[in-house]
Amino acid sequence: MKPALRLFFAFSIGCTLSTSAAEPSAIQARILAREGHTAREAQNFPVFLRKMEEAVALRPDYPRLLVNLAEAQVANERLDDAVATLARLAALGTHSPVDKTAAFSPLRERPDFKAVVTRLEANLLPVGSGEIAFSLPGMTGLIEGIAWREKTREFFFGDVHHRAVWVRASDGKVRRFSAADEAVTGVFGLVVDEARGTLWAAVSGVPAMSGADAKVKDSAGIAEFDLQTGELRGVKRIASDGYPHALGDLALAADGSVFATDSLAPILWRLAPQAPAPTPFVESSEFVSLQGLTFSADGSTLYLADHSSGLLRLDLSTRKVSQIDSPPDSTLIGIDGLVLAPNGDLIAVQNGVRPMRVLQLELAPGGDGIARVAVLESGHLTMAAPALGCISNGDFFFIGNSGWSRFEEMEPKPTAPRPVPVFRTKIQTAAPAAKKR
């Protein structure tokens, strides 16, 4: 998970707030969970249980909330209910080390608890081929963004730490694409705009980048690079409004507009053609920590991944935002990257749960729901911190280990040179059936 998200989650959990029906379910559930933890610390176990029951009723797709509810059930001597709740956790396809957690010691000798632990452990087993298409050799930065240029068969990569774009040519050689420039901050998501000869990049000032001084730390915008030469044409920044912003990913509309997600403010930004700066397109209470985004096949809808809320749908004509519920026994929490597959399905990099996974989401008729969820990749050792992805020649390519954990100190420095794996995943062409989650 990106450090910016950790800061937001710490805020949303740690604040003492009152729940309101006007708040999105993600916020309401987190507030209730915080109130439950406060009750537990005061040894008020009935209130702890009630708060967690209310939180899970709102968001049954939150793995952490299910663990907390099971803890509350054990504390209230409802052991059968606790095992049933942990079975719900296992059904999501996620994992938690409940067998090593002191709160669950009263369950350890129960056969049904042991069976649930076995199911949870099975969720850690690898799924998919785990094919590494290639690696970026000798990287010392933080590789987050990726884009494919069909015309030249090049991959581009955004480097948050070095504030740079790298390019891998068709012959496999990797070189720095963009020159050093103080106007460019940490480079996140990328998108190729062939019609305008532009590589667009989401740039944000974050602690993980080099030279993160006060002048650039909170700056965010969209950088425009010449697609052929890498020359910086300019950075179109968000106007200062007194609030922090972090643009993480981009999507290109048919009219040339560039849309950008903001993980620190509840805003979807739009950079119109020839506009001097991005402007808010939609502000919504449903936006808690926006990440990836992609258009529907007909361009009428934007699908948005919110690390905390799950999957959202934006009707571009009405600008109405709606939540897409997780199908039974599945969770869409913790999605980072999101792209549209050639067959119209959504491909999601889910790095906010354990194990981290790549999902294929078949849209229901009308595009306002998810018909099926399939796990394409999961549990590979070399997929330690997956980041963004893109479609190339009908396959899904994604960064397997961006390296965020290497840049969490107060003064981050380049790492020792390391290969950064880029995975290739075959997209299911038929309706996903196996490994439903």
pLDDT digits (tens, 9 = 90+) for 75-100: 999 999 999 999 999 999 999 999 99
Q: How far is CA 204 from CA 58, 209, 271, in A?
A: 33, 9, 15
List the Cα angle 316/144/128 in 5-degree steps.
Answer: 90
Q: What is the pLDDT of residues 384-415, one digit of tens each?
A: 999 999 999 999 999 999 999 888 765 667 88
3-state secondary structure of 84: helix
Residue 426 has pLDDT above 80, yes or no: yes
Instruction: Give me the residue label for tokens 């004509």.
Output: 317
How far is residue 5's CA from residue 386's CA, in Å, rounded to a whole number? 15
- List the structure tokens of 171: 């012959």
For residue 267, CA distances in Å to 2, 4, 271 come to 18, 15, 13
**Contact in structure between 415 and 148 (CB atoms under 8 Å):** no
The pLDDT value given to residue 9: 37
pTM: 0.92
| Phi–psi pair at 415, nearest 5 degrees | -85, 170
Q: Give yes or no for a contact between 246 and 206, defined as CB atoms under 8 angstroms apart.
A: yes
Which tops the pLDDT comparison, 8 or 345?
345
Rounded distance between C-alpha atoms, residue 131 and residue 375, angstroms? 15
Q: CA-CA distances (angstroms) from residue 90 to 63, 292, 325?
A: 9, 26, 19
Range of weakest confidence among 22-26, 338-342, 343-347:
22-26
* Residues 128 and 358 sit within 8 Å (Cβ to Cβ): yes
- Which phi and psi (to 5°) does residue 403 adopt? 100, 20
> Chain-centre distance of CA 33, in angstroms?
22
Q: Which helix H or strand E contains 281, and what residues bound it?
A: strand 279-283
Least trusted range by pLDDT, from 61-75, 323-337, 375-389, 409-423:
409-423
Please report the sign of the dihedral spanned by the C-alpha atoms of residue 422, residue 428, residue 433, residue 437: positive
Mean pLDDT of 353-372: 96
pLDDT in tens, 210-236: 987 655 666 899 999 999 999 999 999
Structural domains in the chain, sorted by start: 3-122 (1.25.40.10), 132-425 (2.120.10.30)
Mean model confidence pLDDT for the chain: 92
Q: Is the bond preceding 421 in cis, omega lying within 30 degrees of 0?
A: no
